[in-house]
Amino acid sequence: MKEILIDFSNIGDYEDFYTELKSKLELPGYFGDNLDALSDVISGGLELPLHIEFVNMSVDQLETFEDLLTTLEDVEEEVEDFTFTYYLEQYEDDDENLDENEE
């Protein structure tokens, strides 16, 4: 299974996303930068099985890319050999500040 990891720490908008996607996948020349084209190419234009994973998404990006997430979840239900996951960025607790407040 081919696995594609897309790190959202440097993605601010859809243009950034499609640039990153194109660097990770061999998309056909006619690919348009839109969700319908993404759905179509996964459904019939890419070598499967394929897993795409988004990492380091911020809470703001969840809202910005809500349509993208929904589209990929729909494709996952329709295409047998395609899977998709996403993960939010994690913040470390500042233990030093906790210790200072306890003193």
pLDDT in tens, 36-80: 999 999 998 788 999 999 999 999 999 999 999 999 999 999 999
Q: What is the pLDDT of residue 91?
A: 63
Give the architecture-level CATH label for domain 2-102: 2-Layer Sandwich (3.30)
> What is the percentage of the chain residues whose pLDDT exceeds 90?
76
Give the chain's mean pLDDT: 89
Q: What is the pLDDT of residue 97?
A: 47
Residue 90: predicted pLDDT:
75
State pTM to two decimals.
0.82
Q: List the domain boundaries for the chain.
A: 2-102
pLDDT of residue 89: 86
Q: What is the pLDDT of residue 52?
A: 97
Q: For residue 11, which of 62, 85, 51, 82 has the smallest C-alpha distance?
A: 62
- Axis crossing angle, helix 35-44 with helix 66-78, rounded to the nearest 10: 20
